[in-house]
Amino acid sequence: MKSALRHAKIQAPLAIMRSGVSDIWRGAFTLTGRYRPIDAVETKSTNCGDVGFSGDIPVRAGRAHKQTRRCFAATPPPYEAVENLIVTPAGAGWKDGVLYEKYSASKPGLRSLSVRPVPAQEIAEAYFIQSEHTDTFGDWMSEYLAPLAGIGDINAPVLLPASMAARPYVNRDAARLGIEFVSVDAPVRIKKARVIRQSKIIRYWTAPEVAALRKFLDIKTVEPKPRSILYLSRHGETSEVAVRSHPNRTLEEVVRACGGLVLRTAETSLDQYMDAASSAETVIFDHGSAGYNMIYWRPKRIIEIVSDAWWMNAFLFFADAIGARDYTIIRSDHGRKARIAEKLSQALAAPLRARL
């Protein structure tokens, strides 16, 4: 029953409803002066070009085989210096009794806005990252590591909302990056804070951002073997956000029949992702955060398996940013398993395209 309630078919409309209700509360607190959203001039965006794809068009993705990349009209500074910033376990950033969206990790809900925090400790200097989400490995890659990659020398602790700091990949990356990530388990006053801002509109990756992140993670990519195939299967994985299902075993059979490699993401380590680089000329993946592990590879063709209940275009832009121009989408809810397998077989049999 619990799993059914977490299915994307329920979670997606619930998330939209909660966001609408929260907007009402945030509007009320804005009028009282307790909450300050990011200024409209800072959130203004512009069209930065289209990225095309082939195959199925996902639900709510329009009618054309393309998506438009949006960029900030005026790029925010890499970070802002803020004195006496109070940050909370939920990621709210308070200054002088006001909760600032641009100093916070995620938009605040009613609980964060209701009570002004009393700091339990004070530290002299630290970084804090402005973000929108604190839920998944995808959030970690896109909203935390990507902006950190643009800072250069990180010479103070990086404070994280408690929920994000508890993720196992945070400890893993702290060790390999040599960065001190600190969980905010009670309100903290930072006497001299540097709030790292998002340089991109969350999901709209660009090639320079991927290049900076690869350098930050010290990634040296290798050319994959010609005609190699790799499938990132979500079989056995529990989503951190919303449950969705795909005909994984059927797709795994198609890939193995073509001589491809199957990695089940619930069982795969970072070393195994790295070792799979030579097998990744064509990468098939079930829509989900594990797709960001493509940063370790140089795929030429990407096939995304998507659910009608849950899709966003982040991976299309990510693929374009890592240089993979041949992108196909297959809707796994659109037809019987045999039909989905046939679509995958057809996509694998097609010649590689240099660019759509």
Question: Sign of the C-alpha dihedral, residues 54, 306, 315, 13?
Answer: positive
Matching residue, tokens 């009393």: 118
Measure the CA–CA gap between 245 and 309, rounded to whole angstroms: 10
- HSE (CB half, 13 Å, CA atoms) of 65? 11
Q: How far apart are CA 185 and CA 164, in angstroms?
A: 11
Which residue's entry shows tokens 């829509």? Answer: 287
8-state DSSP, 209: H
Q: What is the pLDDT of residue 211?
A: 97
Structure tokens at 272: 């195994």
Q: What is the mean pLDDT of each run of 10 residues along the chain (356 residues)?
A: 47 51 80 94 96 96 97 94 98 97 92 93 98 94 97 95 96 95 98 97 95 96 97 81 75 96 96 97 96 98 93 97 96 88 95 71
pLDDT of residue 335: 76
Q: What is the DSSP string of 125-153?
A: EEEEE-BS--SSHHHIIIIIIHHHHTT--
What's the pLDDT score for residue 2?
45
Q: pTM of the predicted model, to two decimals?
A: 0.90
φ/ψ region of 34 (left if φ > 0, alpha if ψ in -120 to 50, else beta) reads: alpha
Q: For helices 337-349 and 248-257, what crossing angle results, to 10°?
A: 30
Q: What's the pLDDT score for residue 187?
A: 98
Return the closest-CA partner of residue 235 out of 273, 262, 271. 262
Whether the CB-CB separation of 301 and 2 falls below 8 Å is answered with: no
Q: 33 is written with which tokens?
A: 């002066």
How many residues in the chain?
Answer: 356
Q: What is the pLDDT of residue 10?
A: 46
Q: State in Å, rounded, how far the first CA of the chain is from the last one.
A: 43
290: nearest Cα among 251, 235, 345, 210: 235
The token pair at 347 is 């996509």
Picking from 155, 173, 156, the residue whose alpha carbon sits closest to that of residue 165 is 173
Name which of 353, 348, 350 is nearest 254 in CA terms: 348
Residue 226 amino acid letter = P
CB distance 103 to 128 below 8 Å: yes
> How, if at all, do strands 35-36 and 98-100 pair?
parallel
| Contact call for residues 126 and 193 (beta carbons, < 8 A) | yes
pLDDT of residue 26: 85
Whole-number pLDDT of residue 77: 92
Helix (H, G, I), strand (E, B) or coil at 122: strand
* DSSP-derived secondary structure letter, 351: P
pLDDT score at 237: 72
Ordered domains of the chain (ranges, CATH): 36-75+202-356 (3.40.50), 77-198 (no CATH)
pLDDT of residue 354: 63
